[in-house]
Amino acid sequence: MSSALSLTVHDAAAVRAGLDIATLRPAIAEAMIALSQGRVRQNLRSFIGLGEGRTFALMPAAFDGQGLFGAKLVSVFADGAGRKAHEGVVVLFDGQTGVPVCIADAGEITALRTAAASAVATQALARPDASILAILGAGRQAAEHITAIAQVRPLEAVRVWGRDLERTQAFAADMSARIGVAVTAKETPRDAAHDADILCTVTTSVDPVLEGDWVAPGAHVNVVGSSGPMAAEIDTDLVARSRFIVDHAEHVRAHGGEYLRALASGRITPDHIAAEIGTVLSGAEPGRRSDAEITIYKSLGHAAQDITAAGLLLG
């Protein structure tokens, strides 16, 4: 990166114009391989509580050598109705000069890179013939995940569950028109999950919205919405039944609520984490081992992904 680059600022519209999931997918895959191979240094995210339902978080990371480094600074404010707003910035520095070169809207980057990472995991772990997608959640991440998963598997149907049925029906109609595949709103998460090949939990729920009994053999599950140790979107039974693959083991052992609940219950042991997605992508560890196996990708999201996305904005 040239030291002549000046600081650029990318608001939400500029991030959306400059990034797309298809471009992000290979870049995020490479970032996750680098993270698993120790070529990215990052600390556990740190939190400062700002009162009930309000948190400020810092996520720093640096690529080895003279690569990019920086951090995401984000506030997460709950609105009291089960929704959370992520607001913040990703700050990027030039690895050769130490000069800040980019400030980008964190909410937009987070939405895009998270869905891209789930698509990468789905491409690596879901059965090649997987065609029925279930989405639990009907917000921004739900929309991005439908778009992203449709790029890596030949979807024939999408089912969506959200807590507000009327809102979910409107969301389903909009997404049907957007992707050209039938998207149907379901009244319960169990209805949405029934016989689905790929499932994504993208909620803010503290307690499970997806149970193991509802998930068919051979399914792949992306667990995306919960990012703290006290929250779990899937139950212990599903964790225990699955080949449990994570984005980063150190972080999941500290902050992965689903893993921590299952561990505390005695249903799993610490070695239940089968692999990191980066080791699967590099070929160092196997992903899916049979058509009947349930695979899970537990996503917490990482600054390596945010920095990678911001770097693409610089061209």
* Helices (H) then strands (E): counts for the chain: 11, 15
**Residues with pLDDT less than 50, the chain:** 1-3
Is the Cβ–Cβ distance between 210 and 238 less than 8 Å?
yes
pLDDT of 4 reads: 54
Per-residue confidence (pLDDT) for residue 2, from 0 to 100: 44
Distance separating alpha carbons of residues 169 and 275, to the nearest angstrom: 37
pLDDT digits (tens, 9 = 90+) for 97-120: 999 999 999 999 999 999 999 999
Give the number of other CB atoms < 10 A from CB of residue 315.
7
How far, CA to CA in Å, does 80 sit from each of 53, 54, 105, 125, 204? Answer: 8, 11, 24, 36, 11
